[in-house]
Amino acid sequence: MAIKTKLSIFIFLFFLINIAICREETDPELKTCKHQCHQQRQYDEHDKRICMKECDEYHEMKQEREKHKEDKDDEKEVENPYVFEYKDFDTILDTEDGRISVLNMFDQKSKLLRNVENYGLAVLEAKANAFVSPHHFDSEVIFFNMKGRGIIGLVEQDNTERFNLEAGDIIRVPAGTPIYLVNRDENEKLFIAALHMPSSPGSAPLNFEAFFGPAGRNPESVLTAFSSKVLQAAFKTSKGKLESVLEEQKKERIFKIRKEDVHGMAPKKSIWPFGGQFNGPFNIFSNKPSFSNQFGSLFEIGPSESKSGLEGLNVMLSFANITKGSMSTIYYNTNANKIAFVVDGEGYFEMACPHYMSSKHRKSSSAYHKMNARLRPGMVFVVPAGHPFVTIASKNNNLKIVCFEVNAQRNKKLAFAGKKNIVLALDKTAKELAFGLAAEKVDEMFKRDEEFFFSYNVDESKEDRGHADV
């Protein structure tokens, strides 16, 4: 049953705080929509059900949009091209047993994102024992297993290499490599984030949709695009036989399989690392965290990490776990552009942007724009190189964020606050000139023992209104 997936962008309810919306069937637009479904003579019963489902989904989306609009009015957030929500994802595949959603064409929202415009972020959600059938991409892909226990099969010209995927595992899939995925857990869902990137500086992925493999006609394989006669000649077979093989597969592209089949695909332990063409997965938690204290920890894997599979890619992966009620320091990346995906928890994000083209003859009281957003699971925010920012966890939950940092070579994280910071690093005279104060006074404020993660407790915050209450 191939529900048209493009139509249901909005049902991307990833990880999912299911928003219970009471469907007001009394909305006249919804009624009209459903009525029209029934009136379509060319539709069979199946088509009508899909049509009506789409009416419901459209209605939900509309309600959510309105709800979102109100939220925004409440928060008085400015238009923020750096932040993406569920509605900005395209659900490119949506079956009973799993779903793939893609956030691509970052440039659509703003040319401020041109440094990440050739990148795409996909998320896969697969139910227990689901099988994602073989496919390939026209881009280089880095998979990050956010949650659950998977198997990935990478197909070479004459065999297939399989690897187990655990939470925190990173694996690089070279451009064009046919792969399949399995959720090998019998109960838990599998959640994978994937960064799609150009396979060389000069090239750009044309699309982030997968080319699905050789089998199946509905959902169909790429082979269905070829003429029957071409296929007959290519496979030296008759039309009848062709159909009997290619059309046998009637399942969706993601479907539940038997336990025995899951076991049948378990990786053979002995082979790796002695043979094999592909790098196996590398676990981000196998390294010591770059920063860790009671307020949070940051794990990083970069291109200089051997055996990580990221060699030569100019990409760094990081995973931040910010303790509830805590925050990261205010810092910026010198070279890297960060694409951050909120895995778990809630929180808040603030970033300083240099202001552009303020309208003439208006004395602006502020030379920098504040960009801010509340963070929820499934949200994406982009932090360009050079832009100072901060992330803060809510009082209720740890905030877990996986970040893909592109253009990571020679990148440094420079902080304004914490044990090591660029204010303390200023020499005495320059510091005094910059602040118009004695260096001791400046140091007094900028010195603190913690590094990178701090408590977000503020003593005298009563007079403070605004956006930062989380």
Nearer to a copy of itself, 147 or 162 (CB): 162
The 10 Å Cβ neighbour count of residue 465 is 8
Helix pair angle (45-75, 28-39), 10° resolution: 160
| Contacting a copy of itself within 358-377 (CB under 8 A) | 358, 360-361, 363-364, 366-370, 372
- In this structure, the strands spanning 413-415 and 331-333 are antiparallel
CA torsion sign for 168, 169, 173, 178 is negative
Taking residues 167 to 206 in sequence order and writing x for each that binds a copy of itself by CB under 8 A, - otherwise, the string is -------xxxxx-x-----------------xxxxxxx-x
Among 121, 353, 373, 375, which residue sits at the site for a copy of itself (rule: CB under 8 A)? 353
Among 19, 32, 428, 440, which residue sits at the site for a copy of itself (rule: CB under 8 A)? 428
Residues ≥6 apart with Cβ < 8 Å to 244: none
Taking residues 81 to 120 in sequence order and writing x for each that binds a copy of itself by CB under 8 A, - otherwise, the string is -------------------------------x-xx--x--
- Residue 17 binds a copy of itself (CB under 8 A): no
405 closest CA partner among 301, 316, 343: 316
- Residue 164 binds a copy of itself (CB under 8 A): no
Nearer to a copy of itself, 6 or 269 (CB): 6
Helix pair angle (439-446, 428-435), 10° resolution: 90
Q: What are phi and psi of 226, to 5 degrees?
A: -95, 150
Token pair belonging to 20: 């219970």
Nearer to a copy of itself, 304 or 461 (CB): 461
Contact between 211 and 180 (Cβ < 8 Å): no
Token pair belonging to 442: 């400046």
Q: How far is the CB of 311 from a copy of itself (least distance, A)?
A: 13
- Residue 302 binds a copy of itself (CB under 8 A): no
Q: Exposed, middle or buried by CB within 10 Å (0-12, 13-18, 19+), for 21?
A: exposed
Contact between 93 and 7 (Cβ < 8 Å): no
- Residue 72 binds a copy of itself (CB under 8 A): no
| Contacting a copy of itself within 235-254 (CB under 8 A) | 235-239, 241-242, 245, 248-251
| Contacting a copy of itself within 266-295 (CB under 8 A) | none
Taking residues 385 to 424 in sequence order and writing x for each that binds a copy of itself by CB under 8 A, - otherwise, the string is xxxx-x-x-------------xx-xx-x-x-xx--x-xxx
CA torsion sign for 177, 178, 184, 186 is positive
Among 88, 209, 346, 451, which residue sits at the site for a copy of itself (rule: CB under 8 A)? 209
How many residues touch a copy of itself under the rule CB under 8 A: the total is 158
Nearer to a copy of itself, 50 or 193 (CB): 50
Residue 165, CB half-sphere, CA atoms under 13 Å: how many?
31
